Structure 1
Amino acid sequence: MSEVKNLLVLPRLRVQNANAISSPMTWGFPAMSAFVGLMHALERKLYAEGINVSLGNFGVICHDLEAQATKDRYQYTFHLTRTPLSSPKDRAKIQKDSSYKAPSIVEEGRVHLDITLIFTIDSAAAESEHDDIAQQIGEIVGGMRIAGGSVIPNRSVPSHKQRPQWVTLDDNEERREKQFARLKRRWLPGFALTLRDDYLAEHHQTLQQQNPEASLLDAWLDLSRLNHYCALENKGESNEKPLWQVQRPYRGWLVPIPVGYGAISDLFNPGEVANARDTKTKFRFVESLYSIGEWVSPHRMKQPEDLLWYVDNNEEAGLYRLNNDYHLRASAQ
Structure 2
Amino acid sequence: MKTYIVLPDVQIHNANAMSSTYTIGFPAMTAWLGAVHALQRNLSVWDPIFSDITFSKTAVVCHSCNLQVQKGYRNAIIGTANPLKKKGGAYERPPFIAEARVHVTVTLVIETSRVLPEYKERCEHAITMLLPTMKIASGDILKAGKAEIVYIDEEKDYGYKPLIAKMMPGYVLIERRDILEQEAAGSEDGLDTLLKFLRIHCHADSSSESDRTDWTYERAIPGWIIPISVGFKAISPLMQVSHQRDMTKPHRFAENIVTLGEFKMPYQFDDIDDMMWHYEYDEEQGLYICRNQKLQ
Deviation of residue 233 (structure 1)?
A: 7.1
- Residue 44 of structure 2 corresponds to 47
In 2, the alpha carbon distance for the partners of 1:21 and 1:166 equals 32
What's the counterpart of residue 169 of structure 1? 152
Q: Deviations over 1:197-242 (max 9, x none)?
A: 111122445xx4xxxx4211111111122123567979xxxxxx98
Instruction: Name the amino acid aligned to 1:222.
Output: K
Alignment match, 1:254: 225
1:6 maps to which residue?
3
Moved more, 112-121 or 244-253: 244-253
Deviations 1:232-277 (A, max 9, x none): 979xxxxxx9865323221110001111101111121xxx211111
Q: Aligned partners of 1:313 and 1:126: how far apart in 2?
A: 30
Q: Does 1:56 align with 2:53?
A: no
Equivalent residues, number: 291
TM-score normalised by L of structure 2? 0.89
Match of 2:86 among 87, 91, 95: 91
SS of residue in 1 equivalent to 2:245: coil
1:195 corresponds in structure 2 to 175
Where does structure 1 lack aligned partners over 5 or more consecutive residues?
155-161, 235-240, 329-333
Q: Deviations over 1:74-117 (max 9, x none)?
A: 322222123225xxxx5214717x7xx74x31221221111101
Contact 1:18 1:112 in 2 (8 A): yes
Match of 1:158 in 2: none
Matched, 1:140 2:139: no
What is the CA distance between 1:299 and its match in structure 2? 0.8
1:312 is paired with a residue whose SS is: strand
Structure 2: where are the runs of 5+ without partners? none
Contact 2:177 2:293 in 1 (8 A): no
The answer to whether the Cα contact below 8 Å between 2:199 and 2:220 also exists between their aligned partners in 1 is no
State the superposition RMSD in angstroms. 2.5
Identity of paired residues, percent?
Answer: 29
Q: Rg larger in 1 or in 2?
A: 1
| Separation of aligned partners in 2, 1:63 and 1:171 | 26
1:150 is aligned to 140
Letter in 2 for 1:249: A
- Partners of 1:233 and 1:39 in 2: CA distance: 54
Please show how residues 155-304 of structure 1 align to structure 2 within 5 Å. 162-175=145-158, 177=159, 180-205=160-185, 208=186, 213-229=187-203, 244-268=215-239, 272-304=240-272
AA of the residue aligned to 2:199: R
Give the Å deviation of 1:314: 0.4
CA gap of 1:153–1:39, structure 2 versus 1, over 3 A, is closer
Match status 1:309 vs 2:267? no
Match of 1:111 among 79, 102, 107: 102
Q: Identify if the C-alpha distance between structure 1 residues 214 and 168 changes in structure 2 by more than 3 Å, giving closer, same or farther.
A: same
Q: Which amino acid aligns with 1:325?
A: Q
SS in 1 for 2:13: strand
The residue that corresponds to 2:14 in the other structure is 17
| Cα separation, partners in 2 of 1:228 and 1:14, compared to 1, 3 Å | same
Q: Which has the larger share of helix?
A: 1
Q: Return the structure number with greater strand share.
A: 2
Q: Which residue of 1 aligns with 2:78?
A: 79
For 1:121 and 1:257, how far apart are their aligned partners in 2?
A: 25
Taking structure 1 as the reference length, the TM-score comes to 0.80
